[in-house]
Amino acid sequence: MVGYMIALSALALLAAAPGVAEEIDCVSCHQDLTAGKSVHQAVSMGCVVCHSAVDASDVPHMITNKNPKGLSSKMRDLCYSCHDKKPFMKITVHGALRLGCTTCHDPHASKHARLLKEAVPRLCLDCHRERLMADKSKTHDLSSGAVCSSCHNPHATDAPKLFISGLQGGADGRTALVLPSPASR
């Protein structure tokens, strides 16, 4: 009987404990994080999947671990818990990836494709504008509607300068996109 009373007391204490993200309807205050052209699949799994260390019983929320925003683990490790790490581990890795996925991607929702914070090329130009403005050749002429990802992988490749396959060096030392002839398309 004493064991039963102790168990009931423990349950009562747990019921009175401060709420965590899974007990609270986060979307009632954070609906902007769940709307957009692209919404991260993890959002449908519930906030606690990524933000397990948020005590949402009070505002402002209390973070119960040392990770920013109450994340379950460090951001990169958290992303790799669902996303395959292998495509990001190549010889040439984009500097933005080293800073973290959220440098370019919104972890919740975005009005842009692939959870990007801005549309390409605007997103790329946030960091690369100065270098491209110094490029007096027409290698990076974006006025034609071309986008950076036509030639560059935004994450990692085994080629220099994040070139995607199909790019070859020219006799002038520049790299050019080699497209199949119209007849073979």
What does the pLDDT look like over 104-158, one tens digit per residue?
999 999 999 999 999 999 999 999 988 887 777 667 777 777 788 988 999 999 9
Dihedral of the alpha carbons of 22, 27, 29, 34, in degrees to the nearest 10: 130
Residues 50 and 90 in one domain: no
Is 79 contained in some domain?
no
Element of type H or E holding 129 = helix 122-134
Last residue of a domain, one of 74, 92, 115: 74
pTM for the structure as a whole: 0.74
If one compares 153 and 1, the residue with the highest pLDDT of the two is 153
Least confident of 6-15, 21-30, 65-74, 93-102: 6-15
Residues 68 and 118 in one domain: no
Is 183 contained in some domain?
no
The per-residue DSSP string of 11-53 comes to: HHHHHHSPP-GGGS-THHHHGGGG-SSEE-HHHHT-GGGT-TT
Total structural domains in the chain?
A: 2
Q: At residue 70, does pLDDT exceed 80?
A: yes
Is 108 contained in some domain?
yes
Is 184 contained in some domain?
no
Residues 67 and 116 in one domain: no
Last residue of a domain, one of 13, 39, 74: 74
Is 157 contained in some domain?
yes
pLDDT at 9: 40
Residues 33 and 110 in one domain: no
Residues 90 and 148 in one domain: yes
Confidence of residue 83 (pLDDT cuts 50, 70, 90): very high
Q: Provide the residue range defining the domain that includes 105.
A: 84-178
CB contact at 8 A, 59 and 127: no
Residues 129 and 60 in one domain: no
pLDDT single digits (tens) 15-64 = 334 444 445 789 999 999 999 999 999 999 999 999 999 999 888 999 99
Is 117 contained in some domain?
yes
Which of the given ranges, 23-37, 80-94, 168-182, has the highest pLDDT on average?
80-94
Residue where the block lists tokens 């991260």: 40
pLDDT at 38: 96
